[in-house]
Structure 1
């Protein structure tokens, strides 16, 4: 199964093993940022900081 990596827009940590088999992926980083991934473009689509 093909995978790819994107960088968190908050802390720039590499988030690996994103699958190309989904329509959209949501990622919750430990730095407090949540973001969605554009599978076709293999880039961060939208992101926001989570409230505590």
Structure 2
């Protein structure tokens, strides 16, 4: 159940990226930042991704 919740959150983030017509460089940069935060919880990764998208 928790995995589904996290998955849907990631789908929402990806949808937002697509809506903004984000460049490949933007996506690579985002995934790089997220990969640096492996020690953090997935919830904080999602928060970080949302903050990054808002910039």
TM norm structure 2: 0.25
Tell me which of the two structures has the higher relative contact order, counting C-alpha pairs closer than 8 angstroms and 6 or more residues apart. 2
Per the normalisation by structure 1, the TM-score is 0.25
The higher radius of gyration belongs to 2
More strand per residue: 1 or 2? 1
